[in-house]
Structure 1
Amino acid sequence: MRELNVVISGFDHYDGVDVNPAIEVPKAIAEQGLGSASGPDDPLDQVEVTIHVASIPVSFAKAWPTLKETIEATRPDIVIATGLKHSARGVMLERCATNLMDTAKPDADNVTPRREPIDPDGPAAYWTRLPLRSILNDFADDSIPATLSSDAGTFVCNSLFYNLLNWTATQERVLGGFVSFPLVGPAHSSQNGLPLEQQIAAGRDVVREAVRYYLKPSSSDILIA
């Protein structure tokens, strides 16, 4: 049976957030696994997936080196970075990472870069390498509120996303992308957020579709615009 390594990262702390889905979702997927394949024709039936979790500081200087350390130790085929978007009402699939750091609020190291490039020699932006169309189809089947996000902002989430895709561009075949989770909240609430179990199900859908796409790439799975 073929073996695949998947790294799922999440930021380790957000001020004022008691239950952080960017930590709880990756941890739950690593502990619970991806579940059974949908049938004998499902590519997941022919692969053993090992999940590795990385806890990332909310730091412009330290986020990517911390993730890269886990990448170098595990040599993953797929890397999915996750973060928290306070204003989101559902899961947000990030389409684009831009070569820009620009924030008025400090990171964990009290750093506030203003209109600085992440990589002065890098391209202006990268598109995700995850199969967003098939992920959204799974979300619809599982009644998970979700939307596409044009970009991941200009804070540490975007910086990590950009550095990840900058690295995958140098690899022969590694998928990488970024998913933003909402706050953890009650079901059917008018406020922002989703129950943690629903967010775990969403994270599992992302990994399962990324694995399927890795094994059987199809242009119909990609949706970036």
Structure 2
Amino acid sequence: MKILLTYFGAFPGVPVNPTQQVAQALQQRYKYRPSIESIEYVIRELPVSFARSSQELVRILRQEHPDIAISLGVAVGRSRISIEHVAINYDEARIPDNDGEQRRHQLIHAEGETAYFARLPIPFLSARMQELSLPVEVSYSAGTYVCNHVMYELLHHYAHTPDIYAGFIHIPALAVAESQNFSASADAGGVEGTIPTLEESTVVDTLDVIVSELVQHRETTL
């Protein structure tokens, strides 16, 4: 089984994107687990760009052919790890992307569906996270910036491929010095105001459990 995890680099308001170090930490864990040699864990960076993220994501998906594809983003201002439930066909940004493009009131795909629900067993995951007392919530808004854009593109790509698990997870800011320089934006899925943080180890441990649960669920239901 192949697991694909994508992450982003820095963008306005986020000078150091924690999704990169979290993705790298998860990949290292899987690399040294002899009991799960049948799992290939691939991580790839996506540009914080409306146009280029679409191109790069599709290229990666066609190259890697993952069984489980999860994109990670940071939502500054949220206090919990958020499993996103829905992506909308809409780009609206008060901040420009890294190419300087500031999309306003624009459809992602002119002929696309209004929205797509995550291709993940959300009720199952939600129940398991509560059972394990992990800092996870289900979110119904991935914002209108590049995170939602990528989630929509991911689900659009797999709209007619029912055996693929695909979705998006937002993580909070990490408890590091750089967090003091972060700014929250609702466009990017954040919550404007006070910036809570989680320890990196907590985020990595929790995502590790989420991915493990997805692997087991997929193996037993498909």
Give the match for residue 18 of structure 2. 21
1:160 and 1:5 mapped to 2: Cα distance? 20
In structure 1, what is the equivalent of residue 180 of structure 2?
Answer: none
Instruction: State how far apart, in whole Å, the 2-side matches of 1:170 and 1:58 are.
Output: 26
CA distance in 1, matches of 2:64, 2:54: 15
Q: 2:161 aligns with which of 153, 171, 176?
A: 171
User: Does 1:211 pair with 2:215?
Assistant: yes
Contact 2:118 2:167 in 1 (8 A): yes
CA contact under 8 A between 2:10 and 2:16: conserved in structure 1? no
Unaligned runs of 5+ in 2: 177-193
Q: Deviations over 1:110-141 (max 9, x none)?
A: 11111110000001000001122333344335
Could you tell me the TM-score, scaled by structure 2's length? 0.83
Contact 1:185 1:195 in 2 (8 A): yes
Residue deviations 1:60-93, cap 9 Å, x none? 0011221222222221111000100001011011
Question: Residue 83 of structure 1 is aligned with which of 63, 73, 82?
Answer: 73
Aligned to 2:41: 51
Tell me if structure 2 keeps the 8 A contact 1:13–1:57.
Answer: no
Q: Give the secondary-structure state (helix, strand or coil) at the position aligned to 2:198.
A: coil
**How much does 1:172 deviate?**
5.0
Matched residue type, 1:209:
E
Task: Return the alpha-carbon distance in structure 2 between the equivalents of residues 137 and 181 of structure 1.
Answer: 19
Contact 2:92-2:145 within 8 A present in 1 as well: yes
SS in 1 for 2:197: coil
The 1:35/1:151 distance shift into structure 2, 3 A limit, reads: farther
**Structure-1 residue corresponding to 2:199:** 195
User: What corresponds to 1:39 in structure 2?
Assistant: none
Secondary structure of the 1:61 match is: helix
Aligned length: 205
Runs of 4 or more consecutive aligned structure 1 residues displaced over 6 Å after TM superposition = none
Q: Percent identity?
A: 26
1:158 aligns with 148
* Preserved contact between residue 96 and residue 151 of structure 1 (Cα < 8 Å): yes
AA matched with 1:154: T
CA distance in 1, matches of 2:221, 2:21: 29
The more displaced of 85-94 and 135-144 is 135-144
Structure 1 distance, partners of 2:195, 2:66, is: 37
Is the CA contact (8 Å cut-off) linking 1:10 and 1:22 kept in structure 2?
Answer: yes
Q: Is the contact between residue 88 and residue 114 of structure 2 (CA under 8 Å) also seen in structure 1? A: yes
Residue 72 (structure 1) aligned with residue 69 (structure 2):
no
Note the C-alpha offset of 1:201: 1.1
1:12 is aligned to 9
Post-superposition shift, 1:144?
Answer: 2.5
The residue type paired with residue 197 of structure 1 is: S
TM-score normalised by the chain length of structure 1: 0.82
Residue 197 and residue 213 in structure 1: after superposition, are their counterparts in 2 closer, same or farther (change >3 A)?
A: same
After superposition, the C-alpha distances for 1:22-72 in whole angstroms (9 at most, x for unaligned) are 111211111111987xxxxxxxx7882111001111100011221222222
SS of 2:50 mapped into structure 1: coil
- RMSD of aligned C-alpha atoms? 2.4
